[in-house]
Chains A and B, each alone.
Chain A
């Protein structure tokens, strides 16, 4: 650990050691700071998303597709708020690095923008006030969404009482919470939801939803990557935390998350949507779960392939025609001064 400078107190400390470290120099985890800077360059605002073409699309959807969309936005209405709550209640206090906390502050802002985006979306999609209130109360009223929320609350509660991570057990519990939100909630529930959105977009409908979701997706990818970065860092500092028992717990947790998401899919696809079968959705979710395990160095549970060619589209550069809609590819932070002999 020669590259990690000694802390101010003269006593070497680790990322999960309790405390409120305030010193950014010398910087112990510059990779967290870089992630913070990258995130700022990707700033977007809700006003940039153009939902104008979605309304006529909604009218064109089949009843089965409309059911899918209404369930989906109901999930989005609360999903990001749950993630934000866990960040505030459980993550921020324990990641004892000011640069790590900078990133988490930024993530919190992004979650808030996502919440605002989906708020805006629901207000636009569901003009009837009573229906709208029902959509926002999905966590209570719609069993398939309630089931997912319960899963989230269970893991929020698991470390809610912990004020400090003193023992090995405390830290393992923290890691499980972190992995749960990265791998299961942002990494599986959201990835499942994104698949429905991209399916719709591949059919040429709901571009407003898709372009906003594209930016949400970009942010969520970053959140997940940061969380796994924290996991890797803790693991490097305290290798003994991550043992066979932990691995078993992670696998069980992911298996439960897959089941939660499959029952949600069964609800969404209840009326039959051409091109999106439940069997394929299950396959996709299992494939995503295997990939989360792979990032953690755990052998795959399912060995499933990704059956959705439309998800492949997400991996490929976009080249929007400005006549069609706004381009999401521009950078916010640009540096340098005027000069005339730079290479270009």
Chain B
């Protein structure tokens, strides 16, 4: 639609005299008439490089939504919203909306008398928001740091990202709730919180400001503040089988949750329903009532007002309460046995999967009868389990229990399948006897040893691969440079971090694990025109992962040379000369660099026991404006719901492709919308283009598993691997997860599926069905026998 057409429509809705009568209230209280030209000029400031944006259109639409007597601040907000609403039609409006928002934020900060970065830090320090050390560091280096702020930094944001930053990441005045830092000040503040010299801070700031790398949310929230809890993940061992220990865990979980941590907690050591309690000679009510309490505790803790607490409970499938555990997220049944806030994961030994495959029986054993089971893996577990089967509470068909797990996945997306033996066998931390990984974390990408007195901790960050790829390929040197900076700053967090519990403080300095991840893999595939399930995609993803892991190890060996290996180094497999690819029996591609690394490790050890974990990156990918971690796109057109409201996202790679072919038309847009973001029905697009732009629902899931397995030798922790089935059945799921286990994956994450029916589309015109004449047998047969396809065309 052209601008003039749109003005005509706006005029219909808001007659000319009405528009002239409209007035806005200025900040000083005076009113003035709304002036379309003034809004046009405000928009024009930002559109120099946005040739598809029509400032007049934004201005007229803004005025049409305005009411008489609105404030100028409302007018500004409305123009941002108006621009954002046009993103679905033309992705460039996303940049415009982001810039209007940046200008709005800038005005808000300056309105409080803040004109520079160092002033913002001093101001926020005075308000009690910034830590003393960071405030002093900034005051000492004010000029250098103020000069380092990139005035064009905000131009790189998409609207979705900047909106999230503004609503959730920027520090706010405790009373007025106005933001006290601009987006660039925020990133520089994060860098200063982790730096020893201004040069270091500026280098790290530039990397983040370019959106090539972002640390995880807790670091982005808290670095430089008075509460420097910057770790994302905590892995809490199961409470001991006694009341005091259980209540200690509630307390610990609450403290960890308060400071933005996501929590994994095992419950495998606690006795099941019906087990004897010697102290009172009563019978236990099992784990469900205790998990109900945990559920309420997690919901009660609000992570600094930013998001609700979140936790995932892990249980091994031999636990007698496993079936009730799998029902915890059902939406029917007794509410006192439902935990809507907890995520659930199965921590599965190979023995269980073998029995599923062989269709054998499976024994449920009470942990009070076999307390050693949670600490064993591999053959030692198999032996102990078989010996304990004599004391089984009950025996079930392994396949029935496996089928129940699949049903839970289909119905709730929860009940993640994670594999205990692969996790332990393929870990650097399990080199000494007695060190066991008991669970994964909230997002199934962290695998670290813990026990009753040590809570494993991990801080994360992710490389935006999209920022390291052009149509001619990956910029390997840039990628290596990013990894080096990232590892140094991830390692730095360990020393500066505030640990909310004594158990966490006991573990992290000993093992010094970090989790360097990856996002924007789908962007790289689009840029290089590689379909997600192609051999080329698999090679590239493996190659990238090897480069990241190898460079991370090199950097960690370098840190060990300067600062010494981490204290528990002697207990690791690396100390015996086994690096992660060796555990997989894989020969890496870059043999010479690996050889050099081996001698460096032999000489100096490693500063970090673990280096790579691929986290889901939900929020930071949106800030960086790329696709999440290693995931395929979910749709070419989708909305994202967050605490900051809803946003429409369009696949900009597709839009570029369609524009080049003259196909980015309202009709095609409507077609994509009607097909829920699929382009498979757009026959004007050549087959290879349609193949490239398939969605997660349209890809064979085997390919996702194959890609994950191929990169796994270069991921020493694990990957948050979501799987997608639009209409899951028990048969499909059981085949898929058996395949995932056989591929050697350590963990999987959500099963995503789609609702059985959907809301009638409100903005896509209905396809009018002709009135069926009674004599028209063919048409009648259609509506009687095939109601779904008739429904589908509405």
Query: CA separation between A222 and B772, bound complex, in Å?
Result: 21
Is there a chain B Cβ closer than 8 Å to A85's Cβ? no
Is there a chain B Cβ closer than 8 Å to A8's Cβ? no
Set of chain A residues within 8 Å of B766, measured between Cβ atoms:
291, 294-295
Q: Check if B307 sits within 8 Å of A324, measured CB to CB.
A: yes
B343 to chain A: closest CB distance in Å?
7
Q: Check if B763 sits within 8 Å of A340, measured CB to CB.
A: no
Set of chain A residues within 8 Å of B356, measured between Cβ atoms:
338
A280-B13, A321-B619, A324-B642 given; A338·B760 CB < 8 A: no
Q: Check if A338 sits within 8 Å of B780, measured CB to CB.
A: no
Query: CA separation between A335 and B734, bound complex, in Å?
Result: 12
Is there a chain A Cβ closer than 8 Å to B17's Cβ? no
Set of chain A residues within 8 Å of B732, measured between Cβ atoms:
336, 342-344
Q: Check if A45 sits within 8 Å of B332, measured CB to CB.
A: yes
A221-B760, A317-B634, A317-B677 given; A279·B64 CB < 8 A: yes
Interface bits A125-158 vs B (CB < 8 Å: 1, else 0): 0000000000000000000000000000000000
Is there a chain B Cβ closer than 8 Å to A23's Cβ? no
Is there a chain A Cβ closer than 8 Å to B131's Cβ? no
Q: Check if B644 sits within 8 Å of A204, measured CB to CB.
A: yes
A53 to chain B: closest residue by CB: B643
A317-B634, A324-B643, A344-B700 given; A279·B787 CB < 8 A: no
Q: Check if B731 sits within 8 Å of A337, measured CB to CB.
A: yes
Query: CA separation between A218 and B758, bound complex, in Å?
Result: 6
Is there a chain B Cβ closer than 8 Å to A305's Cβ? yes
Query: CA separation between A30 and B783, bound complex, in Å?
Result: 10
Q: Check if B13 sits within 8 Å of A283, measured CB to CB.
A: yes
Contacting residue for A307 out of B64, B635, B637, B755, CB 8 A: B64
Q: Check if B648 sits within 8 Å of A313, measured CB to CB.
A: yes
Is there a chain A Cβ closer than 8 Å to B340's Cβ? yes
Give the size of the chain B interface in residues (CB under 8 angstroms). 110
Q: Check if A338 sits within 8 Å of B734, measured CB to CB.
A: yes
Segment at the A interface, from B41-49, B66-74, B109-117, B568-576? B66-74
Segment at the B interface, from A32-40, A68-76, A161-169, A260-268? A32-40
Q: Check if A318 sits within 8 Å of B761, measured CB to CB.
A: no
Is there a chain A Cβ closer than 8 Å to B335's Cβ? yes
The B contact surface, by secondary structure, is mixed
B21 to chain A: closest CB distance in Å?
13
Is there a chain A Cβ closer than 8 Å to B788's Cβ? yes
Contacting residue for A331 out of B67, B701, B755, B774, CB 8 A: B755
Is there a chain A Cβ closer than 8 Å to B127's Cβ? no
Is there a chain A Cβ closer than 8 Å to B81's Cβ? yes
Query: CA separation between A19 and B619, bound complex, in Å?
Result: 58
Segment at the A interface, from B137-145, B264-272, B403-411? B403-411
Contacting residue for B77 out of A43, A273, A274, A337, CB 8 A: A274
Is there a chain A Cβ closer than 8 Å to B14's Cβ? yes
Segment at the A interface, from B188-196, B491-499, B652-660, B722-730? B722-730
B416 to chain A: closest CB distance in Å?
11
A48-B340, A340-B735 given; A309·B762 CB < 8 A: no
Set of chain B residues within 8 Å of A343, measured between Cβ atoms:
732, 735
Is there a chain A Cβ closer than 8 Å to B600's Cβ? no
Set of chain A residues within 8 Å of B407, measured between Cβ atoms:
334
B16 to chain A: closest CB distance in Å?
13
B340 to chain A: closest CB distance in Å?
6
Is there a chain A Cβ closer than 8 Å to B759's Cβ? yes
Give the size of the chain A interface in residues (CB under 8 angstroms). 97
Q: Check if A277 sits within 8 Å of B67, measured CB to CB.
A: yes
Q: Check if A235 sits within 8 Å of B772, measured CB to CB.
A: yes
Interface bits A301-344 vs B (CB < 8 Å: 1, else 0): 00001110111111111111111111111111111111111111
Q: Check if A202 sits within 8 Å of B646, measured CB to CB.
A: yes
Set of chain A residues within 8 Å of B634, measured between Cβ atoms:
317, 319
Q: Check if B645 sits within 8 Å of A277, measured CB to CB.
A: no
A204-B643, A317-B639 given; A340·B357 CB < 8 A: yes
Q: Check if A330 sits within 8 Å of B762, measured CB to CB.
A: no
B14 to chain A: closest CB distance in Å?
6
Is there a chain A Cβ closer than 8 Å to B438's Cβ? no
Q: Check if B759 sits within 8 Å of A237, measured CB to CB.
A: no
Q: Which of B1-44 contact A (CB under 8 A)?
A: 9, 13-14, 18
Set of chain A residues within 8 Å of B728, measured between Cβ atoms:
331, 334
A272-B68, A275-B65, A338-B730 given; A330·B411 CB < 8 A: yes
Contacting residue for B66 out of A221, A277, A310, CB 8 A: A277
Query: CA separation between A53 and B762, bound complex, in Å?
Result: 27
Q: Check if B641 sits within 8 Å of A335, measured CB to CB.
A: no
Query: CA separation between A31 and B702, bound complex, in Å?
Result: 35
A192 to chain B: closest CB distance in Å?
11
Query: CA separation between A217 and B758, bound complex, in Å?
Result: 9
Set of chain A residues within 8 Å of B694, measured between Cβ atoms:
none
Is there a chain B Cβ closer than 8 Å to A207's Cβ? yes
B677 to chain A: closest CB distance in Å?
6
Contacting residue for A297 out of B410, B645, B755, B771, CB 8 A: B771
Q: Which of A204-238 contact B (CB under 8 A)?
A: 204-205, 207, 214, 217-218, 221-222, 224-225, 229, 232-233, 235-237
Set of chain A residues within 8 Å of B299, measured between Cβ atoms:
52
Query: CA separation between A331 and B407, bound complex, in Å?
Result: 10
A48-B331, A316-B637, A322-B310 given; A332·B77 CB < 8 A: no
Is there a chain B Cβ closer than 8 Å to A44's Cβ? yes
Q: Check if B785 sits within 8 Å of A47, measured CB to CB.
A: no
B85 to chain A: closest CB distance in Å?
3
Q: Check if B772 sits within 8 Å of A321, measured CB to CB.
A: no
A242 to chain B: closest CB distance in Å?
8
Is there a chain A Cβ closer than 8 Å to B689's Cβ? no
Q: Check if B412 sits within 8 Å of A330, measured CB to CB.
A: yes
Query: CA separation between A325 and B759, bound complex, in Å?
Result: 19
Q: Check if A275 sits within 8 Å of B735, measured CB to CB.
A: no
Contacting residue for A3 out of B85, B262, B343, B781, CB 8 A: B781
A83 to chain B: closest CB distance in Å?
16
Set of chain A residues within 8 Å of B14, measured between Cβ atoms:
277, 279
A222-B757, A236-B774, A318-B639 given; A275·B411 CB < 8 A: no
Q: Check if B403 sits within 8 Å of A338, measured CB to CB.
A: yes
Is there a chain B Cβ closer than 8 Å to A1's Cβ? yes
Contacting residue for A342 out of B646, B731, B759, B787, CB 8 A: B731
A330-B413, A340-B738 given; A30·B784 CB < 8 A: yes
Set of chain A residues within 8 Å of B647, measured between Cβ atoms:
313
Query: CA separation between A35 and B756, bound complex, in Å?
Result: 11
Is there a chain A Cβ closer than 8 Å to B528's Cβ? no
Set of chain A residues within 8 Å of B648, measured between Cβ atoms:
312-313, 316
Query: CA separation between A324 and B308, bound complex, in Å?
Result: 7
Query: CA separation between A43 and B412, bound complex, in Å?
Result: 12
A331 to chain B: closest residue by CB: B756
Set of chain A residues within 8 Å of B77, measured between Cβ atoms:
274
Query: CA separation between A335 and B701, bound complex, in Å?
Result: 19
Is there a chain A Cβ closer than 8 Å to B474's Cβ? no
Is there a chain A Cβ closer than 8 Å to B640's Cβ? yes
A13 to chain B: closest CB distance in Å?
14
A277-B65, A323-B619 given; A317·B638 CB < 8 A: yes
A327 to chain B: closest residue by CB: B413
Set of chain B residues within 8 Å of A34, measured between Cβ atoms:
787-788
Q: Check if A313 sits within 8 Å of B618, measured CB to CB.
A: no
Q: Which of B205-225 contact A (CB under 8 A)?
A: none
25 contacts between A and B (CB under 8 A): A39-B757, A43-B332, A47-B335, A52-B299, A191-B762, A205-B645, A217-B759, A277-B14, A277-B64, A294-B768, A309-B86, A310-B85, A312-B88, A315-B764, A316-B635, A316-B673, A317-B635, A324-B307, A325-B641, A329-B753, A330-B411, A330-B755, A331-B755, A334-B411, A340-B735
Q: Closest 3 interchain pairs by CB?
A: A204-B645, A309-B85, A272-B67
Extra A-B contacts (17), CB below 8 Å, given A321-B642, A329-B753, A344-B739: A41-B757, A202-B81, A221-B757, A225-B791, A232-B783, A236-B771, A272-B69, A274-B70, A312-B763, A315-B764, A316-B635, A317-B676, A318-B638, A319-B634, A331-B754, A337-B403, A338-B731
